[in-house]
């Protein structure tokens, strides 16, 4: 499982990789620069497809193949064919914040975290398919990666600065989450960041300041570790025609620290063969 550098980028915070099966490409972002990229592994080409003046924290793929972008101040935009249109202008109380990781659930809702500010900790919101949005979990010290177990009864959720990955009881019919329990707790300087769940139900977690991705069984036991030449490993997803490739984003850090400090692959997009297949991400079905 030796990772290869798919794109030798120098992203401040490379994040949010997601395979788009309609286009057979990988989308990913550099959060603080508001840049959305599209990587075509067949052609070996990476292109900038959208440059927003504000940060892009995450995005989902809509049922029709277009994207929803989750940005500063709780703004949500619909991105289609190179054009962006505002869906939600802002969220009350989040003027100084921004969205971080987001995920569509099996029914097309979107769970979206917002970052802490000087005045309050972060929150987890749920955007329902008819367009209403509300807070479902609060006082989160940096909300991050999310994923669903194959039985769709458990939702995983990383709280980075608490050094925890939670597991919620999740109800697909209502979108409700409750009975939060720890999935894994982390010691030391590294923090859990983005995550995904493979076709066998194992959870793959990227570790910021850990230089690694870890694979965890559903009981929380670590099964494998993949190391990277970058300290800040930020997120992971599965892709390729049969979802047999793993794509991993990394970061230089928002201060743009040199690779001498962060590792000679810091800020690059990586790919490796995990030996297990992933599954397509759920698509959002938000009425626009």
State residue 188's pLDDT score. 87
Residue pair 240/26 in contact (Cβ under 8 Å)? The answer is no
In a domain, 75, yes or no: yes
In a domain, 257, yes or no: yes
In a domain, 217, yes or no: yes
Is 193 one of the catalytic residues?
Answer: yes
In a domain, 287, yes or no: no
State residue 169's pLDDT score. 97
In a domain, 286, yes or no: no
In a domain, 277, yes or no: no
Can you give the CATH number for the domain in which 96 is found?
Answer: 2.120.10.30
Instruction: Identify the band that residue 270 occupies on the pLDDT scale cut at 50, 70 and 90.
Output: very high
In a domain, 38, yes or no: yes
Instruction: Identify the band that residue 142 occupies on the pLDDT scale cut at 50, 70 and 90.
Output: very high
Whole-number Å distance between alpha carbons of 107 and 165: 23
**How many structural domains comprise the chain?**
1
State residue 1's pLDDT score. 79
The set of residues, in sequence order, having a beta carbon less than 8 Å from that of 108 and lying 6+ positions away, is 63, 129, 282, 283, 284, 285, 286
pLDDT digits (tens, 9 = 90+) for 225-241: 999 999 999 999 999 99
**Which residue from 172, 175, 216, 207 is spatially nearest to 189, judged by alpha carbons?**
207
Which residue is catalytic, options 193, 198, 202, 245? 193
Residue 190 domain boundaries: 4-272
State residue 122's pLDDT score. 98
What 3-state DSSP class applies to 259? helix
Q: Tokens 């910021």 map to which residue? A: 208
With 0-12 / 13-18 / 19 or more C-beta atoms within 10 angstroms meaning exposed / middle / buried, residue 244 is middle
Average pLDDT rounded to a whole number, residues 19-35: 98
Whole-number Å distance between alpha carbons of 280 and 74: 26
What is this structure's pTM? 0.97
In a domain, 71, yes or no: yes
């Amino acid at each position: 499982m030796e990772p290869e550098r798919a794109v030798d980028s120098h992203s401040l915070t490379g994040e949010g990789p997601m395979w788009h099966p309609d286009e057979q490409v990988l989308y990913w972002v550099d959060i603080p620069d508001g840049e959305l990229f599209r990587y075509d592994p067949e052609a070996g080409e990476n292109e900038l497809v959208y440059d927003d003046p504000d940060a892009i924290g995450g995005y989902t793929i809509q049922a029709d193949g277009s994207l929803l972008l989750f940005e500063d101040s709780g703004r949500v935009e619909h991105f289609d064919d190179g054009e962006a249109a505002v869906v939600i202008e802002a969220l009350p109380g989040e003027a100084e914040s921004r969205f971080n990781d987001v995920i569509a659930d099996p029914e097309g809702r979107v769970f979206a975290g917002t970052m802490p500010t000087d005045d309050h900790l972060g929150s987890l919101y749920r955007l329902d398919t008819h367009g209403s949005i509300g807070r479902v979990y609060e006082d989160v010290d940096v909300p991050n990666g999310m994923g669903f177990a194959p039985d769709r009864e458990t939702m995983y959720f990383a709280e980075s600065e608490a050094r925890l990955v939670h597991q919620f009881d999740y109800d697909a019919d209502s979108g409700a989450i409750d009975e939060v329990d720890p999935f894994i707790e982390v010691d030391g300087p590294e923090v859990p960041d983005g995550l995904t769940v493979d076709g066998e139900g194992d959870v793959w977690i990227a570790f910021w300041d850990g230089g690694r991705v870890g694979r965890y069984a559903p009981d929380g036991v670590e099964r494998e570790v993949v190391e990277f030449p970058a300290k800040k490993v930020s997120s992971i997803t599965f892709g390729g025609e049969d979802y047999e490739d793993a794509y991993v984003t990394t970061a230089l850090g928002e201060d743009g620290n040199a690779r001498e400090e962060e590792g000679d692959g810091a800020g690059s997009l990586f790919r490796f063969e995990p030996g297990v297949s992933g599954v397509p991400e759920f698509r959002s079905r938000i009425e626009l």
